[in-house]
Amino acid sequence: MHIYRKSKVADAVLSIIEVLLGQVDSEDEYIVCEMYSNAREQGYHLNSWDGKRRVSFSENRNSDNISVYAGGQFDFSMGGNIPNDAVYSNARYFSYDEYYKSAEFITAFLTNG
């Protein structure tokens, strides 16, 4: 028997983000990591330390692609860190094997705004 983790794609992306953030010289001391849960999309939600830049990411519910939802302080619900309609409509999608590219996008967004 095998365990299938819905968060395995997000786990891989998060690992790369951790490495990339270690290479960034930023005034922010921390990035806050929480869970992101929206039905079949299970992943992570990252907040810049000041809370002004927020990103949720996971494996897309309808494909193997990576979904990235990036927005501001008030663009996500507190229950599950779910983005609002405006953020959903501007979602970024990366191919199923573009872990590094999606991690670069997320890191740049969180550190540069």
Predicted local confidence at residue 27, as pLDDT: 64
Region 81-90: mean pLDDT is 94
Region 66-78: mean pLDDT is 93
Predicted local confidence at residue 113, as pLDDT: 61
3-state secondary structure of 80: coil
Of residues 112 and 57, the one with the higher pLDDT is 57
How far apart are alpha carbons 13 and 102 in whole angstroms?
Answer: 7
Predicted local confidence at residue 100, as pLDDT: 97
Predicted local confidence at residue 26, as pLDDT: 65
Amino acid at 77: S
How many other CB atoms sit within 10 Å of the CB of residue 20?
17
Q: Cα dist. 49→30, 37, 99 in Å?
A: 5, 21, 23
